[in-house]
Structure 1
């Protein structure tokens, strides 16, 4: 049976003739003490040297009652705890009762964590959620007890009414992204703070239990035609921004739509072989196979790898810095070639040409893009067949080169 009481220890008498009041936690014939800020002299002790009941009732009755309620709430689970475990539980529960979980500070911690782990895209979403929540609530502090299903719906409605600097509303997909990030953050918070084994629920409510996100907007196609790709290949850049944008696009396109995060991470050596095996940073922690892929480095691409391998990291400390330059580079090129293009178009166009022009199967294209195939358990046991990736990769490159060669031979 667990007990808690206010005591003084006779042998802990201070030089000034006072004793510190402690809360004794007794369980399984073992006692652990919680120190308090209270000190008493002998006038508050009875003849046996124990705290007078009147003193305990006046200054510690409420706290002792709270601790006894917490112990009662544990039920039979207390039988599997030590006195030290019970002390930690009581102290933590008391602290969190008086200091509710503060959402803004927890979101800031999550943002800092994402930056530390190099998760730049996720960090932007977390920062946006934090910024919009502060604007929505118009307050400097927000505790978990204020967040319920109504709060979540009202926050989504607030986002739907927001206007961008150009006067346009936030896209539905953007709002869904914010709400998904908010939901994932809250789930992580509940997993970290709540402990069902000891009936400890400082974040008791799941406000997203019945939440359903809005129907996603159909993403605009980012596929370029063979004539478009040919125009990009033939384009003569006029600025350093355009040079970088074109070169990075070609590298991405010829390497099965490799994204800039992976380029910044893995193209770190000008000495190249005939292939590159790497893990897609974006999803490698979510995939059981680690999102490994092996792509060829064709001869026509090696000069660019030698040019940028190990250099893009020196010129651009972060992938965000690199993406900013690429954005302005492609904005400039798009105005001159007569159609819109960004780095995203490289991956989308690679997939479209592989399927529509080269007639590879959807499964083959999916493998070349390093998408999840759905056979997770089986794939753990089977060595990957990179020849499928290489076949699709070389087929797409050949289709583009054949088109350029044919168009160059046609009479103008």
Structure 2
């Protein structure tokens, strides 16, 4: 079970006498820390270093509730996240993306195309290929793509099966995000039976 909480660390007092309020993310017996834009002084803390400023507590509760709602919406997908990936997911979940996506179905390939600013001038998204081997969870390949063939130069998501391996092309901000997207997509396909129906496109 993943949890989030607002914390202040006594040993992280800044030169100006303030402390940055952190969000602690706990998942799978590990923890990671997210910085916030909020700072407190000793007068806003009790003897146990808990925040006692009621107005700030209300603001932080809203942030925590939003994070908890995002975690809850992941449902069973949460199992695919380690604590570092979950921290990054919560940090980046509201990041704006500069594309318009629309979905089409072409044969047994699920394709989502998008309109991108040419050469990613205003986009921080990188095209990736992720290959998963369902029989070996630890065997994964994530590669950035620097050149496209004519068919794939506008893809957002392309899923295929080759030698029973799961191939997914997509745009992501980081290779970690690309791997998460691929694992989540594979799990969805496996749960709804799509993976079993997907034709193996291995060259014979």
TM-score if structure 1 supplies the norm length? 0.28
Residue 14 of structure 1 is matched in structure 2 by 14
Alignment of 1:51 with 2:51, yes or no, is yes
RMSD: 3.7
Alignment of 1:102 with 2:81, yes or no, is no
Partner Cα distance (2:87, 2:34) in 1: 7
Q: Which runs of 5+ in 1 are unaligned?
A: 123-180, 200-287, 289-375, 379-412
Residue 185 of structure 1 is matched in structure 2 by 154
Partner Cα distance (1:32, 1:187) in 2: 30
Structure 1 pair 26–184 and aligned structure 2 pair: CA distance change class (3 A): same
> How far off its partner does 1:56 sit?
4.1
Partner Cα distance (2:70, 2:184) in 1: 10
SS at match of 1:49: coil
Partner Cα distance (1:30, 1:37) in 2: 24
Instruction: Render the CA deviation track for 1:75-118: whole Å, top value 9, x for unaligned.
Output: 233234322121011112132xxx1333598331269x9xx859
> How far off its partner does 1:68 sit?
0.7
Q: Is the 8 A contact 2:99 2:116 kept in 1?
A: yes
Q: Is the 8 A contact 1:6 1:56 kept in 2?
A: no
Q: Is the 8 A contact 2:80 2:184 kept in 1?
A: no
Structure 1 pair 110–17 and aligned structure 2 pair: CA distance change class (3 A): closer
Q: Which runs of 5+ in 2 are unaligned?
A: 101-113, 127-145, 159-168, 173-177, 186-200
> How far off its partner does 1:28 sit?
2.5
> How far off its partner does 1:29 sit?
2.6
Alignment of 1:342-381 (within 5 A): 377-378=203-204
Structure 1 pair 197–54 and aligned structure 2 pair: CA distance change class (3 A): farther
Q: Is the 8 A contact 2:2 2:27 kept in 1?
A: yes
Flag the structure with more relative contact order, 1 or 2, with Cα contacts below 8 A and sequence separation at least 6. 2
Alignment of 1:81-96 (within 5 A): 81-95=81-95
Structure 1 pair 59–89 and aligned structure 2 pair: CA distance change class (3 A): same
Q: Which has the higher helix share?
A: 1
Structure 1 pair 87–51 and aligned structure 2 pair: CA distance change class (3 A): same
Partner Cα distance (1:57, 1:196) in 2: 37
SS at match of 2:66: helix
Structure 1 pair 187–31 and aligned structure 2 pair: CA distance change class (3 A): closer
**Matched residue pairs, number?**
136
Residue 110 of structure 2 is matched in structure 1 by none
Partner Cα distance (2:26, 2:42) in 1: 25
Partner Cα distance (1:188, 1:118) in 2: 14
Alignment of 1:258-407 (within 5 A): 377-378=203-204
Q: Which has the higher strand share?
A: 2
TM-score if structure 2 supplies the norm length? 0.53
